[in-house]
């Protein structure tokens, strides 16, 4: 997932912050896509099939 190597005297927190933000956005996109697909399935089931072919 994430390979981090820290030098004894140097920790780059900016890069760590950027990587955590990237991973959080990636997961948020996956969750949003799943929610939208579930809403799409619900709408497909509940639509008026005679009116919308």
**Average of per-residue pLDDT across 21-40:** 97
Per the prediction, the chain carries an average pLDDT of 84
pLDDT on residue 24:
98
How sure is the predictor about 33, in pLDDT bands with cuts at 50, 70 and 90?
A: very high
Q: Which two structure tokens, joined as six digits, stand for 44?
A: 């497909």
Q: Report pTM.
A: 0.64
Whether the predicted pLDDT of 40 surpasses 90: yes
Q: How far is Cα of residue 38 from the mean position of the Cα atoms in its chain? A: 15
Q: Which two structure tokens, joined as six digits, stand for 51?
A: 């009116």
> Given the structure tokens 């981090």, which residue do they identify?
4
Whether the predicted pLDDT of 38 surpasses 90: yes
For residue 16, the tally of other CB atoms under 10 A from its CB is 13
pLDDT on residue 51:
76
């Amino acid at each position: 997932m994430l390979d981090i190597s820290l030098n004894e005297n140097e920790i780059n927190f900016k890069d760590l912050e950027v990587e955590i933000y990237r991973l959080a956005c990636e997961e948020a996109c996956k969750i949003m896509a799943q929610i939208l697909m579930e809403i799409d399935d619900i709408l497909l089931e509940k639509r008026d099939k005679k009116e919308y072919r």
